[in-house]
Chains A and B, each alone.
Chain A
Amino acid sequence: MESLRIPILKIENVLIASIQVALHDASAVQFKDDLLQRIYDTKARGLIVDLTAVDVVDSFIGRLISDIAAMAGLMGTRVVITGLQPAVAITLVELGLELPHVLTALNLEKGLAMLRRQVEESGDGAG
């Protein structure tokens, strides 16, 4: 089966990945592995995962997002999730998945600003 890879872009010290397709489980796990490897290779200080085009986040993808944030955090990289649609936010809370430890922002622009502030506060924004 062909594997479906999500492009991961780098702008200065931030990685940006925008999910534009419906991820099945195997491609979602591949995405997590790719992200962590890119963080390691690029020494990025921040990561934005943009979900603007995602219309279903079930418990599997919800867990994956929590895992990505926790794992990237262990590597010293801040993660912000952006662009959650209203219907997705509602179903996540009703499902019982409030992603308590995940930073979120309304859109990519606000997410980038949030990351810049966080990286500056931690005093190593020059990376």
Chain B
Amino acid sequence: MAQGKVAAIRSDLDIVIARTMARDTAKALGFGAIDQARIATAVSELARNIYLYAGTGSVSVREIERSGRKGIEIICEDQGPGISSIDLVMQDGYSTSRGMGMGLPGAKRLMDEFEIRSIEGQGTTITSRKWRT
């Protein structure tokens, strides 16, 4: 478990594979059914973002520990166009594609910690964490 797991995102099928991997990992780490659904749904949104905007990328999931608390860390990386305005994409309802504009702000609400690092023309890395209660 310590080394974590990685899913490559190349097609819409990989979105399902990534969220199943995240759910299975969350379950193995002792997260309850509702947190498993939150984590799987957040990964679904983040993986779809990679697929829609960058085309390809990866989702990695691993166990983490901080001051005695255990949790799950999800890192989504792509080498796509990057995000020009992070403030804008974090607004509910903002979308440049056929989505509902709920993807990133929705995923943030489902997780405990959420950080976006993006460089235009180079790619985006989104790190999110959820702690076991």
Contact = CB atoms under 8 A, between A and B. Distances in A.
Interface of A: 1, 22-26, 55-60, 62-63, 85-88, 90-91, 94-97
Given A25-B15, A91-B41, A59 B102 contact: yes
Contacts of B105: 96
Contact of A24 (B16, B23, B40, B103): B16
A15 B103 CA distance: 31
B48 A60 contact: yes
Nearest 4 pairs between A and B by C-beta? A87-B37, A95-B106, A25-B12, A58-B44
B45 interface: yes
A102 B12 CA distance: 26
A97 B100 contact: yes
B16 A58 contact: no
Nearest to B46: A58
A22 B16 contact: yes
B34 A87 contact: yes
B70 interface: no
Contact of B41 (A26, A63, A95): A95
Contact of A94 (B12, B16, B110): B110
**Interface-centre pick from B20, B41, B105 (highest chain A CB count, 10 A):** B41
Interface string B93-121: 00000011011011001100000000000
Contacts of B102: 59, 62, 95-97
A85 B44 CA distance: 18
Given A24-B16, A56-B41, 13 more contacts: A23-B16, A56-B44, A58-B48, A59-B102, A62-B102, A87-B36, A87-B38, A90-B34, A91-B37, A95-B41, A96-B102, A97-B100, A97-B106
Contacts of A85: 37
Nearest to B103: A59
A22 B38 CA distance: 16
Nearest to A88: B37
B34 A22 contact: no
Contacts of B40: 55-56
B2 interface: no
A96 B109 contact: yes
Contacts of B130: none
A56 B99 contact: no
Contacts of A24: 12-13, 15-16
Interface in B44-65: 44-45, 48
